[in-house]
Structure 1
Amino acid sequence: MYVASDASEPHHLLPDARVWIVVPCYKVRDHIHRVIAAAPSWIEGIVCVDDACPQHTADHIEAVVRDPRVVVVRLSENQGVGGAVMAGYAEAVRRGAGILVKVDGDDQMDLAYLSQLVVPIILGEADYTKGNRFSSVGHLGGMPGVRVFGNAALSFAAKASTGYWNVFDPTNGFTAIEASVARLLLRKQVARRYFFETDLLYHLGTLRAVVRDVPIPARYADEISSLRVRAVVGSFAMRHLRNLIRRVLGQYFVRDFNVATLEMVFGLALLLFGGGYGLHWLAVREPGQAASPGIVMTAALPVIVGVQMLLQSINFDAMNVPTRPIHPYLRTLERIDGE
């Protein structure tokens, strides 16, 4: 029998937070009891989502766990980590949760850092917080080298596709979200499998939600990841490109039209003109014919100016990260509508 651990942090430090943990469960039968036992006493509820687990994790939880806070949700078909988390969000929100913390069931995440995730939301400084394993060299000691390189590459791609240039480690699954923001995300078509965390950031960006990194080291033990990098790298690249295009069109051509829009339009036009002119001249020139200074400048100058304008638009985009949390507004709106 497994029971909850005694947390050193008293509940009064988190007044009215109503923090719930959401745990997607797939092939984590040997680890899930440790995750539940590590949940501090100030956690109000724990939603364990059995994602059609072949190990029947839900049955195992109901048989050996005696923590009254645990709620088991069973999915009839495997929906991937994203589908399981969204199902857990929906259940926790339905039960009155105020903050939802997503924790993997493989015991990689140190629940001693839970308070650091939820406090920025309680203080109204963020709508969504996430762990960042790259905040310190010491945090990378237990991380396999291939994961360090892969996460660094994915982080740069995610910055461009999500618009959150101020965050790193986008695939980190140790996250917390305010419930009213989660309600909005439940209406969106968020990716259900391995691209879930990054796609969630993209959708948070469309809401102009504030996202904050929290330094948290990862733990690696005997768990086995089912993610195969070679199998998903092409899919991830295409999804990042799709989200980048959708974000730029939505943010700079539909919802707003500003100086960055002009820099993108004219920068791309100049770059295409200069590059096209230069390639055309190379195609039609006589053998051995040298380019005149005028031809060189006609091709090179638009390219140089175009690149500079595109770089300026990227700088504008990096400075345009959301800074004002939206959940105070959403909570107030919900109270007004509920009266």
Structure 2
Amino acid sequence: MLSNRTIFVTVPCYNEETQIGKVVETMPAFVDKIVIVDDVSRDRTVGVVKELARLDSRVVLIEHKVNGGVGKAIATGYIYCRDAGADVTVTMDGDGQMDPADLESVVMPVIEDKVDYCKGNRFKYLGGLQKIPPVRKFGNFVLSALTKIASGYWHVTDSQTGYRAISLAALNQLDLNSIYPRYGVPNDILVKLNIAGMRVGEVPVNPLYGVGEASKMRPARVAYPILKLLFKLWLKRIFARYVVQNGHPIVGVLAMAFVALSLMALTTIYILVETLRTEIIPKAALIVDGFAFVTSMQFFLSAMHMDYQYNEELCVRLEGPAHKNRRRSVVSHQHWPKE
């Protein structure tokens, strides 16, 4: 327990026989339960966890019968912790990339009722940016920018980190059975939290990367599903927050933006067809096309500003330790099968 609150940590696992022992052994003493969800690992992860459970009574093993993806494993852990009545539930990956020294700083904002959901932020940690591999850094920047728009949490700058703490009240507001099962799970959860009106904050966390680390993620394969998911999540949130919940004027602004965008698309097609047919660019249509583009962008920017203002109270800016003297950990990790 910490500050008289029960703390459960759920750890989704897939092929982590070499790493899961370190995760459990370095878990702080204030953690009441370590809920490890195995997503049908092909190695000895289950056997290792069973041995860990024999040595540490806090360890609980849940085994999936069918591989469902990291999101499904997180949902399974969340359901267990919710049903057990844990005051705060934390997610940590099973690959050892999350520094246990950061756990207290991640859970305290939830315990102190400053936020309902606290995320780790690797970019805010002193020297954190330099530790993250370039490709992963670029991908995180892009996804975090798009997640700001999709989720309404405009202050979130590291959307993909797996180090997260959530209150029991917030867990009870989420439909855990509908959580996105694959790589987009953190983005999906943020949108669900925004629809439920939950406060979200970030604290600096130390990203641990080891020598020889190899990621099996294929950006080209993941990019389209994630972009498609983010667009769907944005539409879902706009409808839920601004149509169903209160009938906000932003709906009219977005409608005008789409009208202008449609006009631009039609005039663009007309310009292309006429240019190919007559070899002359229709200047009047070109002017209308440019006007429609500028107008649509103005409406979209106005809508984003309105969304920013409306969600300001849910975007909690937390103060957190940016640096501590810690040992460096050497880790390697394996990923869930990708879509």
TM-score normalised by L of structure 1: 0.82
The one-letter amino acid of 1:21's match is V
**Most deviating of 136-145 and 17-26:** 136-145
> How far apart, CA to CA, are the structure 2 residues paired with 1:290 and 1:106?
59
Equivalent in the alignment of 1:114: 103
The structure with the largest alpha-carbon Rg is 1
Q: Does 1:24 align with 2:12?
A: yes
Partner of 1:55: 43
1:88 corresponds in structure 2 to 77
Alpha-carbon distance change, 180 to 58 in structure 1, aligned in 2, over 3 angstroms: farther
1:148 counterpart = 2:137: yes
Q: Offset of 1:307 from its aligned partner?
A: 2.8
Of 268-277 and 144-153, the range deviating more from structure 2: 268-277
Distance change >3 Å, CA 310–CA 28, structure 1 → 2: same
Cα 1:283/1:100, change in 2 over 3 Å: same
Structure 1 residue 188, shift from structure 2 partner:
4.6
Taking the TM superposition and a 5 Å limit, the aligned residue runs for 1:178-197 are: 178-197=167-186
Distance in 2, matches of 1:123 and 1:283, equals 62
2:127 aligned counterpart, secondary structure: helix
Give secondary structure in 2 for the equivalent of 1:40.
coil
- Summarize deviations over 1:80-134 as a string: whole Å, max 9, x none: 1111111111222222311000011111000111111111111111111111111
The answer to whether the aligner puts 1:227 opposite 2:182 as a matched pair is no
Q: Where does residue 104 of structure 1 map in the other structure?
A: 93
Structure 1: which 5+ runs fail to align? 1-10, 326-339
Deviation at 1:22, TM superposition (A): 0.5
Q: Which residue of 2 aligns with 1:69?
A: 58
TM-score (norm 2): 0.82
2:23 corresponds to which of 26, 29, 35: 35
The 8 Å contact of residues 90 and 186 in structure 1, kept in 2 or not, is answered as no
Letter in 2 for 1:156: A
C-alpha displacement at 1:40, in angstroms?
1.1
For 1:160 and 1:290, locate their aligned partners in 2 and report how far apart those are by CA, in whole Å: 36
1:323 partnered with 2:336: no
CA–CA distance in structure 1, aligned partners of residues 15 and 272 of structure 2 = 59
Task: Name the CA distance, whole Å, in 2 between partners of 1:290 and 1:197.
Answer: 47
Contact 1:260 1:313 in 2 (8 A): yes
SS in 2 for 1:256: coil
Which residue identity does 1:40 align to in structure 2? P
Q: Which residue of 2 aligns with 1:254?
A: 244
Contact 1:52 1:77 in 2 (8 A): yes
Contact kept, 8 Å, 2:271 with 2:282, in 1: the verdict is no
After TM superposition, the structure 1 stretch with the greater mean CA deviation from structure 2, 265-274 or 278-287, is 278-287
Listed as ranges, the matches of 1:299-314 within 5 Å are 301=291, 303-314=293-304
Amino acid across the alignment from 2:6? R
Name the Cα RMSD after superposition. 2.6
Q: Unpaired runs of 5+ in structure 2?
A: 316-339
1:243 aligns with 2:233: yes
Q: Given that residues 19 and 101 in structure 1 are in contact (C-alpha distance below 8 angstroms), is that contact kept between their aligned partners in structure 2?
A: yes
Asked if structure 2 preserves the Cα contact closer than 8 Å seen for 1:110 and 1:219, the reply is yes
The size of the alignment, in residue pairs, is 311
The 2-side partners of 1:298 and 1:225 are apart by 48
Whole-angstrom CA distance in 2 between matches of 1:281 and 1:73: 60
Percent identical residues: 28
The answer to which of 127-136 and 316-325 deviates more is: 316-325
Greater Cα shift, 210-219 or 255-264: 255-264
